[in-house]
């Protein structure tokens, strides 16, 4: 409601420190990105190589899950303080989402 937020200017030392921290954080982001690219490449390569489906299926789903976790925790800043509410509601959503997908691959009455 009120936009009155008191901001105290940072001192030169704090400022330098924050800058360095942010730059270090950015390196972490790039590392996360490299991992995502790697996972994507592995997933595509595994499918292209034609390994048995029962094996690749779970593996690429796992890779997708890890990749998404990297997006959430690094790109979308879940590693920072104050993201608890976001995490709680997203995990709840993921639970509902999982239940729904499970339902639709098991009990929708395909008579086969």
Partner 1 sequence: MDYNTKHTPHTWPKHPETASMEGKNKVTGFWLFLGGETVLFATLFATYLALKDRGPSGMKFSTHELFELPLAFIMTMLLLTSSLTSVYAMYHMKNFNFKAMQAWISVTVLLGLGFLGLEIYEFVEYVHKGFGFRQSAFGSSFFTLVGTHGVHVIIGLVWFILLMLRNAKRGLNLYNAPKYYLAALYWHFIDVVWVFIFTVVYLMGVM
Partner 2 sequence: MSSLATEKKGFGAMIWEYLTTVDHKKIAHLYLVAGTMFFVIGGIEAMLIRIQLAKPDNDFLSAGLYNEIMTMHGTTMIFLAAMPLLFAFMNAVVPLQIGARDVAFPFLNSLGFWLFLLGGIFLNLSWFMGGAPDAGWTSYASLSLLSPGHGIDFYALGLQISGAGTLISGINFLVTIINMRAPGMTYMRMPLFTWTTFVASALILFAFPPLTIGLFFMIFDRMFESNFFVHTMGGNTIIWEHLFWIFGHPEVYILVLPAFGLFSEIFATFCRKRLFGYSSMVFATILIGFLGFMVWAHHMFTTGLGPTANAIFSVATMAIAVPTGMKIFNWLMTMWGGSIRITTPMLYALGFIPSFVAGGVTGIMQASAPLDYQLHDSYFIVAHFHYVIVGGVVLALFASAHYYWPIMFNQMLNETLGKITFWFFFIGFHLTFFFQHFLGLMGMPRRIFTFLPNQGLDFFNLLSTIGAFMMAIGVTLLVINVIITAIKGEKAGQDPWGDGRTLEWAVPVPTPFYNFKQTPLVRGLDPYWIEKMEGNKEGMVYAEPLSDIHMPNNSILPFIISLGLFISAFGAMYHQETTWGLYVLIGGIGLSVLAMIIRSLKDDHGYHIHKEDLMDDKGGNV
Sites of contact with partner 1 (CB under 8 A):
1-7, 9-10, 12, 15, 18-19, 22, 25-26, 29-30, 33, 36-37, 40, 43-44, 47-48, 50, 53, 56-57, 60-61, 63-64, 67-68, 71-72, 75-76, 82, 85-86, 89-90, 92-94, 96-98, 100-101, 103-105, 108, 110
Residue 72 interacts, among partner 2, partner 1, none and using kind-specific CB cut-offs from 5 to 8 Å, with partner 1
Return the structure tokens found at 25: 């954080």
Q: Around Cβ 53, how many Cβ atoms within 10 Å?
A: 9
Q: What are the residues whose beta carbons fall under 8 Å from the beta carbon of 63, sequence distance 6 or more?
A: 39, 40, 42, 43
Distance from the Cα of residue 80 to its chain's centroid: 13
Which stretches of the chain bind partner 2, using CB under 8 A? Answer: 1-4, 85, 89, 92-93, 96, 99-100, 103-104, 106-110
């Amino acid at each position: 409601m009120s936009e009155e937020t008191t901001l105290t200017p940072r001192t030169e030392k704090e400022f330098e420190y924050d800058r360095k921290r942010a730059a270090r954080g950015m390196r972490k982001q790039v590392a996360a990105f490299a991992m995502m690219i790697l996972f994507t490449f592995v997933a595509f390569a595994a499918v292209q190589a034609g390994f048995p489906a029962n094996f690749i299926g779970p593996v690429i789903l796992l890779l997708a899950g890890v990749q998404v976790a990297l997006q959430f925790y690094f790109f979308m800043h879940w590693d920072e303080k104050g993201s608890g509410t976001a995490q709680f509601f997203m995990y709840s959503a993921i639970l509902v989402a999982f239940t729904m997908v499970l339902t639709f691959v098991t009990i929708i009455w395909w008579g086969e």
